[in-house]
Amino acid sequence: MADRAEARDAPVVAPIGNKQASEAKMSDASANGGPVLAADGTPLKVSLRRAERRLRLRAFLLTAPLLGFILLTFIAPIGDMLFRSVENEIVADTLPRTVEALKDWDPASGQAPDEPVFRALYEDLKVAVAEKKHTQVGQRLNYEKSGISSVFRKTGRRIKRMDPDKPLKPQFVNADKDWGDVETWRVIKQFSPRFTDGYFLAALDMQRDAQGVHLRDEKDRIYLTLFWRTISLSAVITGMCLLLGYPVAWLLANLPARTSNLLMILVLLPFWTSLLVRTSAWKVLLQQQGVINDLLVGIGLIDDAHRLALINNQTGTIIAMTHILLPFMILPLYSVMKTVPPSYVRAAKSLGANDWTAFWRVYFPQTIPGIGAGAILCFILAIGYYITPELVGGTSGTFISNRIAYHISVSLNWGLAAALGSLLLILVLALYWAYDKIVGIDNVKLG
Amino acid sequence: MSKLPPYATPLQRGWHYAFRFICALIFLFLIIPILIIIPLSFNAQPFFTFTPEMLRFEASGYSLDHYRDFFTDSGWQNALRNSFSIAPMATLLSVAFGTLAAIGLSSGKMPFKGTIMAVLISPMIVPLIISAAGMYFFYSRIGLQGTYWGVVLAHAALGTPFVIITVTATLVGFDRSLVRAAANLGAGPVRTFFKVQMPLILPGVVSGALFAFITSFDEVVVVLFVGSAGQKTLPWQMFTGLREQISPTILAVATILVTLSVILLTVLELLRRRSERLRGITPS
């Protein structure tokens, strides 16, 4: 029976007119016990399979343009970012002979390499200086050990005056004494492979030196601090959203439709208003000379000399982001609360529960799916936020995203930016996976 | 639930009103920041707070200076033009690709549906800063960074998930026998699509288009990285304005944008009602 229902869903098999004939034939054939045939004489199963294949192909062809488009414009960039977080071709490409010559050198020996390595370096640098690439290598290695950039720049200026017929090692050490330092060579050797975990180590505040991989000193751990701040501030913001969103969602779900639709506008309008409009509003409201401080001074709660610092710190970030993400908490909570039958709470009360017990033991557990959905959604959105922390967060209220942007456009350490981005992406995907388990991706609704 | 029963104790009565009061405060928190910029944008002084003249409702306290500034300043006008040349193009691409894909995805015969859906929705899930970083790296490799088409393609990619979600939602209520009926009456697939399917799923397509438009129109992170000075959009101009020196013209722009979102919200609500009517669901 199921097969026949499927066949009826497949309009390509045969026009409807023939279909009735085929169905008639089918029952005949079933009665005779032979294979069921379609109108054109092929067995029905074959014909059906062919039709289904054609339908699948059609569905796929409809989706293919977008799939190709997204792969090119979105997935490839993400892939490029992941690739850049481990890519390290510049050293091997610019200093190929040096890298080759350094293979036999062991940094544990405590001695700078010998003449052949310096000869290779001389050959490499001559080419690199002509192509003006030596500063790029210097800058790349400078991320790992500060000071190398100037070593390369200084040597680049001196390379033309070096005499290849005399021993080169003293001439290099003369150009910059760091060439005689084991540490310089250890860094070059360490970052000569084409792929590196150096950016990820840096993004996790770890470093690798002669003793192996270990965490940096407490005071130098900027990225772990930032990750921790991003996660904890996001958690605080999510908590605030839940605290403010739960009563409002309950009210909206329990008021008569007319009133609640009207009040819903108050939730949807902020949801639809440009992010920058809302951020500028908070910037205006929270300033030292802004409306809120003026109001507090006006009613005498604080005096003029002690205006509150509400912006350019964590308070600013928390207030503005709670406001921005609140609708994302209210809407899922509302849609879950709408489905909770009010008779359950009435039943609980008639069985002797007081208001609190009826709420906490009967109503609240039924809204947990909504809490889960709203909280994960808010949290995912919060940890990736860039604009609002950048504008109202000052230095203490910025997130990891701000650091990524800084490395892309200011410090130009793209590898580190890519590594930080990859870590953030992993975090978000893990959360999203949890969201999918709790809510299901198909339940994403808009408006 | 929402009405107070006559036998309520004073405590319950008190809690009932206290609860309403708390909710009112939360609603104020939601709406005040948006409403307060409207009167402030008419401030005659370049301040971000109410001047004594404004509080006394004197005409001299109010002016249209900031609006005049917005409509005459070449920086703002350029930004406005850029926004209106990028967003429609990005919307067009999102809607064309997204609608086709949504029809394919909801035909029920899609192989690897879950995986493909996850890939297609991913631009909505990945934080913008990560998309922006990736696009910056990749687009500068292929020469799209800092070009009009680079920004359009990036925004189109960000807008498609919204089109897919809204169109798929409309297709759930779409009666497939109508397509078969059209085919039975002799219409080809293209004709069936435009004459039968499209008019019925149009509300979903239009609201998807609105989502895609507003995504592009409001977007700032990706354009900051993928665009160059020639693609400076309105949100970008606002962002630089807010970061460097905040000028009251921003409040005028913000007010205009709020008006725009009110219009958008109204259109979406009307579309939702129409869609429900077409699908035979009476609006609650």
Of the partner residues B23, B134, B207, the one whose CB lies closest to the CB of residue A77: B134
CB B196 within 8 A of CB B187: yes
Nearest to A207 by CA among A231, A228, A186, A226: A186
pLDDT score at A317: 93
What CATH homologous superfamily does A222-443 map to? MetI-like (1.10.3720.10)
Q: What is the pLDDT of residue B279?
A: 65
Position A171 pLDDT exceeds 60 = yes
Helix (H) or strand (E) holding A212: strand A212-215
Q: Identify the closest residue of chain A to B37 by CA–CA distance.
A: A281
Residue A16 has pLDDT above 80, yes or no: no
Res. B283 pLDDT band, cuts 50 70 90? very low
Using pLDDT thresholds of 50, 70 and 90, give the confidence band for residue A186: confident
User: What is the model's pLDDT at position A440?
Assistant: 65
Phi first, then psi: give them for residue A212, nearest 5 degrees: 110, -165
Return d(Cα A101, Cα A113) in angstroms, integer: 9
Residue located via tokens 């388990």? A437
Which residues in A lie closer than 8 A to residue B34 (C-beta atoms)?
269-270, 273, 277-278, 281
Nearest-CA distance B29 → chain A (Å): 7
**Higher per-residue pLDDT: B205 or B274:** B205
Taking the Cβ of residue B178 and every Cβ of chain A, the question of whether any pair is shorter than 8 Å is answered with no
**A277 neighbors B38 (Cβ within 8 angstroms):** no
Please, what is the average pLDDT of chain B? 87
Residue A292: pLDDT over 50: yes
- Residue-by-residue DSSP string for A267-311: HHHHHHS-HHHHHHHHHHHHSTTSHHHHHHHHTTSS-GGG----S
Our CA-based measurement puts residue B73 at a distance from the nearest CA of chain A, in whole angstroms, of 19
pLDDT for position B281: 54
Interval A352-407: pLDDT, tens:
998 899 999 999 999 988 898 889 889 989 999 999 999 998 888 889 999 999 99
- Boundaries of every domain in chain A: 2-84, 89-196, 222-443
DSSP B86-155: HHHHHHHHHHHHHHHHHHHHTTS--TTHHHHHHHHHHHHHS-HHHHHHHHHHHHHHTT-TTSHHHHHHHH
A-facing residues of B in 51-90 (CB < 8 A) are none
Superfamily of domain B76-276: MetI-like (1.10.3720.10)
Alpha carbon of A26: minimum distance to chain B alpha carbons (Å): 22
How far does the CA of residue B12 sit from the closest CA of chain A (Å)? 9
Which H or E run contains A129?
helix A115-130
Q: Show the tokens assigned to A228.
A: 């921790």
CB contact under 8 A, B111 and A73: no
Is the Cβ pair B127, A60 closer than 8 Å?
A: no
For A381, name the nearest residue in chain B, comparing CA atoms only.
Answer: B127
Q: Checking DSSP bridges between strand A206-209 and strand A212-215, what pairing results, if any?
A: antiparallel
Whether pLDDT at B284 is above 50: no
Instruction: List pLDDT tens digits, range A56-107.
Output: 888 889 899 999 999 999 999 999 999 999 988 888 888 888 888 888 888 8
Tell me which chain B residues have a C-beta less than 8 angstroms from the C-beta of A67.
101, 116, 119-120
- Among chain A residues, the shortest Cα distance to B18 is held by A247
Comparing B11 with A7, which gets the higher pLDDT?
Answer: B11
Looking at residue B77, what is its pLDDT?
Answer: 93
Residue of B nearest to A281 (CA): B33
Secondary structure percentages of chain B, helix, strand, coil, to 5 = 75, 0, 25
Domain boundaries, chain B: 76-276
A24-58 in b/e form (b: 16+ CB < 10 A) is ebbeebeeeeeebbbbeeeebeebbeebbeebbeb
What is the Cα A137 distance to its own chain's centre? 29
What does the pLDDT look like over A42-58, one tens digit per residue? 888 888 898 888 888 88
Quote the pLDDT of residue A2.
Answer: 38
The number of angstroms, rounded, from the C-alpha of A206 to the middle of its chain's C-alpha atoms is 21
CB-CB neighbors (< 8 A) of A60 in chain B:
104, 110-111
With an 8 Å Cβ cutoff, are B107 and A55 in contact? yes
Could you give the 3-state DSSP secondary structure of residue B190? helix
Question: Given this model, what pLDDT does residue A33 score?
Answer: 61
Decide if B225 touches A, using CB distance below 8 A.
yes
Torsion angle of C-alpha atoms A226, A232, A237, A240, degrees rounded to 10: -160
Among the partner-chain residues B31, B119, B166, the one whose CB lies closest to the CB of A446 is B166
Could you tell me the two tokens for A289?
Answer: 């000379």
The partner residue sitting opposite A291, judged by closest CB among B36, B166, B214, is: B36
What pLDDT is recorded for position A94?
87
More confident of the two residues B55 and A431: A431
CB–CB of B262 and A269 under 8 A? yes
When comparing pLDDT for B245 and B223, which is higher?
Answer: B223
The residue type of B95 is: V
Q: Is B256 on the interface with A (CB under 8 A)?
A: no
Reported as a pLDDT band with limits 50, 70 and 90, residue A166 is confident
- Please provide the average confidence, as pLDDT, over all residues in chain A: 84
Check CB contact of B15 with chain A, cutoff 8 Å. Answer: yes
- Residue in A251, A287, A384 nearest the CB of B130: A384
User: Per residue in A104-135, pLDDT tens?
Assistant: 888 888 788 888 888 888 888 888 888 888 88
pLDDT of residue A14: 40
Burial B266-278 (b: 16+ CB within 10 A, else e): eebbebeeebeeb
pLDDT at A77: 95
Chain B residues lying within 8 Å of A326, measured CB to CB: 29-30
- The secondary structure of residue A145, as a DSSP letter, is S
Q: What pLDDT, in 10s, does the model give residues A224-283?
A: 999 999 999 999 999 999 999 999 999 999 998 888 888 998 998 888 888 899 998 998
Residue with tokens 């020996």: A109
Is the separation of the CB atoms in B101 and A65 below 8 Å?
Answer: yes
